Amino acid sequence: MTDDVDLDVEGLAGDGERAIAGAHSTEVLAQVETEYLGKRSALTRAHRTLGALSPEARKEAGRHLLEVRTRLEARLADRRAVLVEAERGEALRADRLDLTEVIPDQVRSAPSRGHLHLVTQARAELEDVFVGMGFSVAEGPEAESDWYNFEALNIPPAHPARGMYDTLYLDIGEPETVLLRTHTSPVQVHLMEEAVRSGTLPIHAVMPGKCFRLDTPDARHLPVFNQIEGLVVDRDITFGDLAGTIQAFTEAYFGEGMQSRLRPAYFPFTEPSAELEITCTLCLGEGCRTCSHTGWIELGGCGMVDPAVFAAVGIDHTEWSGFAFGFGIDRLAQMRHAIPDMRSFMENDIRFLSQF
């Protein structure tokens, strides 16, 4: 019986080695391993025949079976290492980018050059519009203290208006709380403080930049968005000056004939306050998903600077008055080019970006 077992096992070992050598993938190799070394393999069944042998024969046959199993496992390990390396190399070759590749329809012409992102283009155009209206351009830090972002703008810690902002805090503690600014209005505070220190009032400035909120992206909102803030502080400034400025801006950016309206609103840093809306450029006032079926799109807020804000920076509101406004640059670009979903700005789809 021992000789019969030895003969069967040797034949099995030869078949297994040939199957291992012929495996062309790790998947096939796994199947070979199951067939020759698995719980239902012939080798395992051969182990079960040992109980019918005499003690001496059992010892010799067991040793032989162990040698065959060890030999097959070694062959499997060697073949697996080769196949894994080959498959990894193939995967890397498949993922490799050919940076010298030229799109077929451009073979006979020079490759096209890149360009600024649509939002960046919109920011530059807006700056040009306001500079042409007599404004200067200012910038401020994206990480602000709680005082500049909220308190100096008439939003103290317990004020319910803080619920209007989903704030990303960087450091909560002493000596001050630091956060990513939720609007560009803190730059107004910096400008007014500097003007008071240097005696350079009046102020006519716009302040573009990024803002951050815990918003869920949708057709009209992004968690990281761009605003352009405006501030005028001068003598005898009225709400009529604000309305005229916004109408001039609307026509300069969107073209003559664009309808806009100011709707009463509430902002803690302006009084009275209003929201600027324009006719939805996608549905032309008929109502669609982007404008929530109202026919109007809100571009931002505006109003006369609240005396409490002037008091926070040391400006006498009996001598000086002013107005402020803030528009979303992303939304302005969205409306100007009739883009249904603002999330397109974040997706980096070259087919979308190449249109602008």
CATH number, domain containing residue 133: 3.30.930.10
Highest average pLDDT, of 66-75, 151-160, 285-294, 322-331, comes from 322-331
Question: How does residue 72 score in pLDDT terms, banded at 50, 70 and 90?
Answer: confident
pLDDT at 320 over 60: yes
Domain count, the chain: 2
Handedness of CA 172, 178, 179, 184 (dihedral sign): positive
Judgement on whether residues 7 and 91 belong to the same structural domain of the protein: yes
Distance CA 133, CA 135 (A): 6
* pLDDT tens profile 241-252: 999 998 888 888
pLDDT in tens, 165-181: 788 888 887 778 899 99
Are residues 86 and 126 part of one domain?
Answer: no
Same domain, 91 and 166: no
Distance between the two ends of the chain, CA-based, in angstroms?
84
Mean of per-residue pLDDT scores for the chain: 85
pTM to 2 decimals? Answer: 0.63
Q: Are residues 89 and 198 in the same domain?
A: no
| 91 and 129 assigned to the same domain | no
Q: Looking at the structure, do residues 137 and 238 belong to the same domain, yes or no?
A: yes
**Residue 103 falls within a domain, yes or no?**
no
Q: How far apart are CA 57 and CA 36, in angstroms?
A: 23
Query: What's the gap between Cα 24 and its chain centre?
Result: 42
Q: Which of 66, 82, 93, 106 is nearest to 20 (CA)?
A: 82
Task: Look at residue 106 in the predicted model and tell me its pLDDT.
Answer: 52
Q: What is the mean pLDDT of residues 302-313?
A: 96
As a whole number of angstroms, the distance between CA 12 and CA 42 comes to 8
Q: Is the separation of the CB atoms in 43 and 5 below 8 Å?
A: no
**Residue 1 has what pLDDT?**
39
pLDDT in tens, 97-141: 777 766 565 555 566 677 888 889 889 999 999 999 999 999 999
107 within domain boundaries: no
Distance CA 203, CA 189 (A): 12
Place of tokens 């806009």: 260
Q: Rounded distance, CA 68 to CA 124, Å?
A: 76
In terms of residue numbers, what domain contains 259? 118-353
Query: In terms of Cα–Cα distance, which of 283, 344, 313, 320 is closest to 117?
Result: 344
| Contact of 163 with 266, CB cutoff 8 Å | no
Whether residues 74 and 126 fall in one domain:
no
My answer on whether 63 and 140 are in the same domain is: no
Same domain, 77 and 201: no
pLDDT tens-digit profile of 217-264? Answer: 776 678 888 999 999 999 999 999 999 998 888 888 887 767 778 999
Do residues 302 and 274 lie in contact, with contact meaning Cβ atoms separated by under 8 Å? yes
Asked if 6 and 139 sit in the same domain, the reply is no
